[in-house]
Amino acid sequence: MPIEIDIHALKEKKEDAFRQLVNAYGKDIFNLCLKIIPNTEDAEDLSQEVFVKAFNSIETFREGAHIKTWLYRIAINMYYDHLKWSKRKKRYAILQPLFNREDEPIEIPSNFQHPGIVLENKEHAKVLYAALETLPENQHTAFLLYEMQGMNYKEISETMSLSISSVEALLFRARASLRKKLHKYYSDYTSLKK
Amino acid sequence: METNNNIEKDIEKVFDAAKNIKQADLPMSFAEKTMQRINSAKPAPAVSAYLLLKVAAIIILVGLNVYTISRLLESPVQTEAVKVSMDDLVKDYQVTDVSNDWLNNKTSQNEQP
């Protein structure tokens, strides 16, 4: 059942309306952020920033659009910004654009702490998140929204401002690329164990 | 061959892990913290109510002063021109003889040895 949010009150920046928005979509946004950053504290921080950004730019929200899709788009754009910023911080950042992101090796994150992942899936989930990090941004997003967030093509196309066929193509490439990377990762892992 | 099968199984498990992520509960007081951040992100009003009150008080004071000054200029104090002629003086002091002979006489008497 869709949640009724008073868009006019939001545009007038009324506190009660924003409280209602946070209560209605806080969990969805937090869980999306957890899928982007598998760490509770960072995901909480990012999801709070999403609502602050929404507050500051609510006048750009087009009436008739879905507020949840709009919030998802903010979350994803903020993650891209965060990614660019953290990459810039790395040494030799000037050389980064010279290399294709797809050639990056899979690096298992050290601060992995996702409350929605059961222990038996944890190791595979870690590998998944690490592999996703090496995908191009749009493939990463399409895979995340479809496979992990359970959104359909139409919702993804609205969130990413793309056509449905583009979303399908991105998903196809993301799966193929992931499979290739995972194959290499597990081959190296197996040969190391021997 | 067996190694390849194991790798494929691992890859499938990774894809399954993507689909089997459960919804996590919101951290404690998430809404409160978010509202605090929203409130602290609010831009400070360009003109505060206190400043508006001060400006209004100054405008009222200046207005009152201007009004008072303009009223004073519109109705100037009637200052009678003082035109004192010799005749008025005579009339006022009830001098009967306007001539100054007695004065001259006196002077002439004083001049006598």
Cα–Cα distances in angstroms (integers) from residue A153 to residues A16, A46, A65, B70, B77, in the given order = 33, 25, 16, 77, 90
Tell me the ipTM for this assembly: 0.77
Given CA atoms A124, A110, A160, A33 in this order, what sign does their dihedral have? positive
Is residue B26 helix, strand or coil?
coil
Would you mind telling me the total number of residues written for chain B in this entry?
113
Looking at the complex, does the CB of residue A18 fall below 8 Å from at least one CB of chain B?
A: yes
Q: Which residues of chain A lie closer than 8 angstroms to B24, CB-CB?
A: 30-31, 34, 40, 114-116
Select the highest-mean-pLDDT range: A9-13, B55-59, B73-77, B99-103.
B55-59
Given CA atoms A98, A159, A116, A178 in this order, what sign does their dihedral have? negative
Which of A16, A31, A121 has its CA nearest to residue A68? A31
Report yes or no: B23 and A153 within 8 Å, Cβ to Cβ. no
Question: Domains plus CATH for chain A?
Answer: 1-89 (1.10.1740.10), 117-194 (1.10.10.10)
pLDDT per residue over B15-68, tens digit each? Answer: 888 888 888 889 888 999 999 999 988 776 667 788 889 999 999 999 999 999
pLDDT per residue over A63-81, tens digit each? Answer: 788 899 999 999 999 888 8
Closest Cα of chain B to A94: distance in Å? 33
H helices, E strands: number in chain A: 8, 0
